[in-house]
Structure 1
Amino acid sequence: MIVVTLTKVPKSLKGDLTKWYQEIQTGVYVGNVSARVRDALWDRIMENIGRGEATMVYNAQNELGYQFRTTRQDRQVVDFDGIPLMMHLKEATGGVKHGFSDAAKFHRAKVMMRNAGGKSHPSTKKLTAVSLDIETTGLDAVKDAILSIGAVKRGPDGQMVQSYQLIKGAQEIPAGITALTGITSEQLNEKGVSLTDGLRTLQAFVGDMPVVGYNLRFDEGFLRAAFKQVGQPSLSNRFIDLMPLVKKSNKFLDNYRLETVLADYGIENTSPHHALSDAQATFSLASKLKEKQLF
Structure 2
Amino acid sequence: MKTFIALDFETANQHRSSVCSIGLVFVENGIVIDKYYELIKPIPNFYSHWNTNVHGLVYDDTVYSENFSEIWEDLSKRIKKMPLVAHNSMFDEGCLKAVLSVYDLPIHKNPFFCTYRKSKSMFPNLPNHKLNTVAAYLGFELENHHHALADAEACAHIALQVF
Q: Would you call these one fold, judging by a TM-score over 0.5?
A: yes
Distance 1:232 1:172 in 2: 22
Q: Report the alpha carbon displacement of residue 235 of structure 1 after superposing the two structures with TM.
A: 1.2
* 1:162-241 paired onto structure 2 within 5 Å: 162-169=35-42, 170-190=44-64, 192-241=65-114
1:195 deviates by 1.8
1:177 Cα deviation from its structure 2 partner: 2.1
Distance 1:224 1:201 in 2: 17
Deviation string for 1:138-173 (max 9, x for gaps)?
3443xx5111111111369x5530111111134221
Structure 2: gaps (5+ residues): none
1:137 is aligned to 2:12: yes
Residue deviations 1:243-280 (CA, integer Å, cap 9, x gap): 22111111111111111111211211121001011001
- Give structure 1 stretches of 5+ with no counterpart: 1-93, 95-126, 291-295
Q: Does the Cα contact within 8 Å between 1:165 and 1:193 map onto a contact in 2? A: no
Q: Which has the higher contact order (CA 8 A, sep 6+)?
A: 2
Structure 1 residue identity aligned to 2:161: K
How many residues align? The count is 161
Residue-by-residue CA offset, 1:190-242 (whole Å, 9 max, x unaligned): 3x111211322331221111111110111111111111111111110111111
Q: Rg bigger for which structure?
A: 1
SS at match of 2:7: strand
Given that residues 262 and 268 in structure 1 are in contact (C-alpha distance below 8 angstroms), is that contact kept between their aligned partners in structure 2? Answer: yes
Instruction: Work out the CA distance in 1 between the residues paired with 2:127 and 2:140.
Output: 17
The amino acid that maps onto 2:40 is I
CA contact (8 A) 1:133 1:278 kept: yes
Q: What is the TM-score with the length of structure 2 in the denominator?
A: 0.89
Distance 1:253 1:139 in 2: 29
CA RMSD of aligned residues (A): 1.9
Identity of aligned residues (%): 29
8 Å contact from structure 1 (residues 270, 277) kept in 2 = yes
* Post-superposition offset of 1:178: 2.2
1:252 partner SS = coil
